[in-house]
Chain A
Amino acid sequence: MSAAAGRAPPDPAPGRGVGARLARKEDRRFLRGRGEYVGNIRLPGMLEVAFVRSPMAHGVLKKVIKPRAKEDCVFVAQDLKNVKPIVAASALKGFKVSAQPVLATGKVRQVGELVAMCVAPTRAEAEDLADQTEVELEELPAIVDMIEARTRPPALVHEHWGDNVFLETLWDDDLSEVRKKAHIALKRRIRTARQHMAPMEGRGVVCEWNHRLEQLVMHTAAQMPHINRAGLAECLGIDQGSIRVISPDVGGGFGYKGILLPEEVCLAWLARTLGAPVRWLEDRREQLSANANCREHDYDIAIYADAKGRILGLECDATVDSGAYSSYPFSACLEAAQVSSILPGPYRMERYRCRTWSVATNKPPILPYRGVARTGVCFAMELMVDALARELKLEPHEVRIANLVRPQDMPFNNITRKHFDSGDYPEAVRRAAEMIDVSNIRKRQAKGESDGRRIGLGFSVYCEQAAHGTSVYHGWGIPMVPGFEQCVARLSPDGVLELRIGAHSHGQGLETTLAQIAHTVLGIDPQNVRLVHGDTALTPYSTGTWGSRCAVMSGGAVGTACETIGERVKAIAARLLEVSAKDLSFQGGFVCVTGTDRQLSLAEVAHVWYRKPQLLPADVDPAGLEATVGYKAKVDTGTFSYACHAAVVAVDTDTGHVDILDYVIVEDGGTLINPMIVDGQIFGGTAQGIGTALYEEMPYDASGQPLATTLADYLLPSATEVPSIRVDHLETPSPYTLFGQKGIGEGGAIAPPAAIANAVNDALAPLGVEITESPLTPRRIAEALLGKQ
């Protein structure tokens, strides 16, 4: 662990706008325990729900016997009349559609699938009812291994499909030339374990039917409230206007809360049927046993290179374990469809071929977890680059520098036609190599450690396409294609700016960063900016917060809306100050006549609009100080942020334990709206990446039982497992966004598994050990070493 955090933080940008390390506005309530998470909402007469969940991974549901004298408190599928199953169909050719009944019907397809819903005055009593409910199941062979599921299925998850494949994709190319001329060809089988996102707060729903508004009001911990509303409307067969979804304070998402839940549909139906508010809060055991739903990939991959280590070609068969159903809205196609287009990443090569399968198994339906497929492909690609370096006895960071897209190539369309906007990837690697001090590490390795541990050094590079728009997602065939983002901006009579956005903030600090944007455009004090988000009744439609899109999309919408308001303010101020609007500028909350000390506060201008319209210019825009403005990015392909991570590890070859001695990141997120918040995203993502690399996995036994169902077994890294991390920033603005900002929220979680695995493999290479499976647990490492003895 390093004592200092690398370079001193850069001087904060002057003022409180884009670039400033502004302390967060939302801290005020969280530091006093006054956050309003869904579990804090209590409605009069509220009843509590507990679910009966399938104990079996795959089985025919024969019968559910409700507890005697309490039958009217327990509901099964047959009771939920006219409720449709959840369907998330991809538009991609050949995608097989799954229908997920909100309460199991006919079959159960995963441990933890909802079978019955129990209602009682308290959660404890609801759980008592769940215990007393008997479920009769006839066991079917469990489909647990994704390769077997595809090639030698013991059974079918969805019988009418004829196989267990949601989707197959092919990015085709002819590698025959490359195979012939390559000096070196390396093949590997690489596997990443199934995981759980494990935000600190579980999911939760509080729901009631409002008679006055004839509307279902649902409070739910959600990242994409408008999408939840759409899904609820589809399943309940009512119009979207009959539903109001409110996402309050949310204790972490990471993708886990970007989903329409069967629990949400059940509670919506229940609230309407009972005429009483109802609540369900997910507990940790439900979460772990029923919802380990991400990251499980299998790569059969080959790399071809010349004698100097230049990559000539890459081919891969990749399989994604997508679980039992296609989740709404991202569907079971997203990760498998992404893989082939993002595997080559920022590397140049001549030929590339990739086949992918999204496979159905008796496990929880896949959800995109921070980084999505990028984490898996980075792991696969970066392990191959290091294998190549080892084979050719070259320094791994130099092999990267030789193969990465160069600044002079920008903007660059890579072999999968990904459009890279800007950046200097080799420089990121060079700086990371310098920060981690490669030559010093090599000397230390040569010397050996007094305690017998083995030191290793690993790099990984990734690029994060973010804030990409319509055409890209349409190309991936997801059912919910994002369009344009809007912001409703309103300057109130007392000069406070209210911004309404469709995305949602659950840790990213949007209440602060978007206020900083407003400050940059209008000079308004961020304390006088109020962000309204998370409520479908109050905000414009948005696909929500995911894919690292908010800084670019919501930021773009906010910036553009503020510009519109700014023009309107200037038009009024110009009349009041009797100057031309082009002589006006915004400064510190005032509209100022440039070069003089004449000025009006924003509040004074607003006061005239609202209270003294007789003073307005004759040609004033009657839309006034309220505007709904949309943002259109210059290109659809979004931004590419990127980074190089480097890790130094010490491996105890006796126990297999890995200590991270040093960890550096050189990242380029374009213009950083709030560098402090950007660092926070990087640190948090990296901690999750360390979890992926060394600690987190959800194993399943042969009958499909999840084996790590409490936090005693599913290990989340704590402050001792996460080291002090040093970060350096390159800031190459994106030419395509309003301030040059790029999406960066996921990057931290992409690179660490590869960097750490490469470091461990570097440490153990002299012993002939190479590990190609994550997490690199002590047992896996020690057994690999034992196997070599």
Chain B
Amino acid sequence: MTRTRRVAFTVNGRPVQAELEPRTSLADFVRESERLTGTNLGCEHGVCGACTLEIDGAPARSCITLAAACEGAHVRTIEAFDDDPVMEKLREAFSAEHALQCGYCTPGMLMTARDIVLRLPGADEARIRLELSGNLCRCTGYMGIVRAIQRVLKAP
């Protein structure tokens, strides 16, 4: 039996102290311990992007991040963005442009979309597509997602 490890960080602005097995991924921690189930598991080997959340302000893949490695970090999941103005614009755009169908890739997709909008305000279609390529979607063919991001980038 391995020892459990105590780790402290913040999740969605709330301080969290947990005693966990070191092998626990951040994804499983937020989903199972914190009951924040918006972050989805699609591959658990860092390819599909469904698990994308924000660590210290930057998108990261929670399936290959150890919860134990997040000591002192600020983690934000999709649930933290209910009142975020940029995310609100993206939500409106995603809905208007039909950028989601089954919804499984959507939280991760929104995390990446928000990063694009904030970090690359001048991104053209090719650049948007490139930046999205780490988030797989099997339903939409990406058309609505690209248009939604373009819509937010174009808006005043």
Assembly CA distance A687 to B145 (angstroms): 13
Assembly CA distance A725 to B140 (angstroms): 12
Contacts of B21 in A (CB 8 A): 124
Contacts of B100 in A (CB 8 A): 27, 30-31
Do A31 and B91 contact each other (CB < 8 Å), given the known contacts A251-B103, A679-B98, A719-B142?
yes
* Binary flags per residue of B42-54, CB closer than 8 Å to A gives 1, else 0: 1111011010000
Question: How far is the CB of B129 from the nearest CB of chain A, in Å?
Answer: 4
Question: How far is the CB of A30 from the nearest CB of chain B, in Å?
Answer: 3
Contacts of A685 in B (CB 8 A): 141
Contacts of A5 in B (CB 8 A): 143, 147
B94 interfacial by beta-carbon distance below 8 Å: yes
Question: How far is the CB of B144 from the nearest CB of chain A, in Å?
Answer: 6
Contacts of B101 in A (CB 8 A): 252, 507-509, 680, 684
Question: How far is the CB of A90 from the nearest CB of chain B, in Å?
Answer: 29
* Binary flags per residue of B70-95, CB closer than 8 Å to A gives 1, else 0: 00000001110010000000010011
A716 and B107: CB pair below 8 A?
no
Do A680 and B102 contact each other (CB < 8 Å), given the known contacts A3-B125, A39-B41, A720-B133?
no
Question: How far is the CB of B145 from the nearest CB of chain A, in Å?
Answer: 7
By beta carbon, the residue of chain A nearest B110 is A31
Assembly CA distance A680 to B79 (angstroms): 26
B141 and A684: CB pair below 8 A?
yes
Contacts of A254 in B (CB 8 A): 138
* Binary flags per residue of B6-30, CB closer than 8 Å to A gives 1, else 0: 0000000000000001011000000
B39 interfacial by beta-carbon distance below 8 Å: yes
Assembly CA distance A1 to B128 (angstroms): 13
Contacts of B69 in A (CB 8 A): none
Q: Which of A195-203, A228-236, A699-707 contacts B (4 or more CB under 8 A)?
A: A195-203
Residues from 34 to 68 in A contacting B, C-beta threshold 8 Å: 34-37, 39-40, 42
Question: How far is the CB of B101 from the nearest CB of chain A, in Å?
Answer: 4
Do A687 and B95 contact each other (CB < 8 Å), given the known contacts A33-B78, A724-B125?
no
B130 interfacial by beta-carbon distance below 8 Å: yes
B139 and A684: CB pair below 8 A?
yes
Assembly CA distance A141 to B83 (angstroms): 60
Assembly CA distance A73 to B43 (angstroms): 26
Do A683 and B144 contact each other (CB < 8 Å), given the known contacts A24-B98, A200-B102?
yes
Assembly CA distance A748 to B143 (angstroms): 13
Question: How far is the CB of A343 from the nearest CB of chain B, in Å?
Answer: 27
A31 and B138: CB pair below 8 A?
no
- Max count, chain B CB within 10 A of own CB: residue among A27, A200, A249, A508: A200
A200 and B137: CB pair below 8 A?
yes
Question: How far is the CB of B79 from the nearest CB of chain A, in Å?
Answer: 6
Residues from 110 to 137 in B contacting A, C-beta threshold 8 Å: 110, 125-126, 128-130, 132-137
A686 interfacial by beta-carbon distance below 8 Å: yes
Question: How far is the CB of A20 from the nearest CB of chain B, in Å?
Answer: 13
* Binary flags per residue of A721-732, CB closer than 8 Å to B gives 1, else 0: 110110000000
The main secondary structure of chain A at its interface with chain B is loop
A26 interfacial by beta-carbon distance below 8 Å: yes
Question: How far is the CB of B22 from the nearest CB of chain A, in Å?
Answer: 11
Contacts of A748 in B (CB 8 A): 141
Do A252 and B82 contact each other (CB < 8 Å), given the known contacts A31-B110, A199-B138, A719-B142?
no
* Binary flags per residue of A118-131, CB closer than 8 Å to B gives 1, else 0: 00000010000000
- Chain A interface residue bracket vs B: 35 or more
B137 and A33: CB pair below 8 A?
no
Contacts of B36 in A (CB 8 A): 33
B142 and A33: CB pair below 8 A?
no
* Binary flags per residue of A747-785, CB closer than 8 Å to B gives 1, else 0: 010000000000000000000000000000000000000
B105 interfacial by beta-carbon distance below 8 Å: yes
By beta carbon, the residue of chain B nearest A710 is B45
B98 and A684: CB pair below 8 A?
no
A189 interfacial by beta-carbon distance below 8 Å: no
Assembly CA distance A676 to B95 (angstroms): 11
Assembly CA distance A722 to B137 (angstroms): 11
Residues from 648 to 703 in A contacting B, C-beta threshold 8 Å: 676-677, 679-680, 682-688
B40 interfacial by beta-carbon distance below 8 Å: yes
B96 interfacial by beta-carbon distance below 8 Å: yes
Assembly CA distance A1 to B69 (angstroms): 42
Do A711 and B43 contact each other (CB < 8 Å), given the known contacts A32-B38, A200-B102?
yes
Question: How far is the CB of B93 from the nearest CB of chain A, in Å?
Answer: 10
B136 and A716: CB pair below 8 A?
yes
A680 and B140: CB pair below 8 A?
yes
Within 8 Å by CB of B141, from A27, A200, A720, A725, lies: A725
- Chain B interface residue bracket vs A: 35 or more
Assembly CA distance A24 to B128 (angstroms): 24
By beta carbon, the residue of chain A nearest B23 is A124
Contacts of A249 in B (CB 8 A): 102-103
By beta carbon, the residue of chain A nearest B38 is A33
Assembly CA distance A31 to B142 (angstroms): 16
Contacts of B135 in A (CB 8 A): 718-719
B146 interfacial by beta-carbon distance below 8 Å: yes
A33 and B79: CB pair below 8 A?
yes
Within 8 Å by CB of A719, from B77, B103, B106, B145, lies: B145
A688 and B138: CB pair below 8 A?
yes
Do A200 and B47 contact each other (CB < 8 Å), given the known contacts A37-B40, A679-B98, A680-B144?
no
Residues from 433 to 462 in A contacting B, C-beta threshold 8 Å: none
A200 and B138: CB pair below 8 A?
yes
Assembly CA distance A710 to B44 (angstroms): 10
B45 and A712: CB pair below 8 A?
yes
- Max count, chain B CB within 10 A of own CB: residue among A31, A37, A507: A31
Assembly CA distance A527 to B75 (angstroms): 35
By beta carbon, the residue of chain B nearest A198 is B138
B102 and A199: CB pair below 8 A?
yes
Assembly CA distance A251 to B130 (angstroms): 24
Contacts of B43 in A (CB 8 A): 284, 710-711
Contacts of B91 in A (CB 8 A): 27, 31-32
By beta carbon, the residue of chain A nearest B132 is A719
A400 interfacial by beta-carbon distance below 8 Å: no
Within 8 Å by CB of A33, from B107, B128, B129, B144, lies: B107
Contacts of B139 in A (CB 8 A): 200, 252, 507, 680, 684
Assembly CA distance A24 to B91 (angstroms): 12
A30 and B144: CB pair below 8 A?
no
Contacts of B78 in A (CB 8 A): 32-33
Question: How far is the CB of B26 from the nearest CB of chain A, in Å?
Answer: 14
Question: How far is the CB of A112 from the nearest CB of chain B, in Å?
Answer: 17
B35 interfacial by beta-carbon distance below 8 Å: yes
Question: How far is the CB of A16 from the nearest CB of chain B, in Å?
Answer: 14
A283 interfacial by beta-carbon distance below 8 Å: yes
A252 and B48: CB pair below 8 A?
no
Assembly CA distance A31 to B144 (angstroms): 14
Assembly CA distance A145 to B136 (angstroms): 31
Assembly CA distance A638 to B31 (angstroms): 44
Assembly CA distance A254 to B95 (angstroms): 22
Within 8 Å by CB of B132, from A37, A686, A718, lies: A718
A506 interfacial by beta-carbon distance below 8 Å: yes
Within 8 Å by CB of A201, from B98, B102, B129, B133, lies: B102
B37 interfacial by beta-carbon distance below 8 Å: yes
A576 interfacial by beta-carbon distance below 8 Å: no
B103 and A35: CB pair below 8 A?
yes
A252 and B94: CB pair below 8 A?
no
A23 interfacial by beta-carbon distance below 8 Å: yes
List residues of A whose CB falls within 8 A of some B CB.
Answer: 1, 3, 5, 23-24, 26-27, 29-37, 39-40, 42, 124, 198-201, 249-252, 254, 281, 283-285, 506-509, 676-677, 679-680, 682-688, 710-712, 716, 718-722, 724-725, 748
Taking A200-B139, A683-B142, A683-B143 as known contacts, 12 extra A-B pairs with beta carbons closer than 8 A to each other, sorted by chain A number, are A27-B103, A32-B79, A39-B31, A124-B24, A284-B42, A680-B144, A683-B140, A711-B136, A718-B133, A719-B132, A720-B132, A724-B143
The 4 closest A-B pairs by CB, nearest first: A33-B38, A30-B103, A251-B104, A683-B141
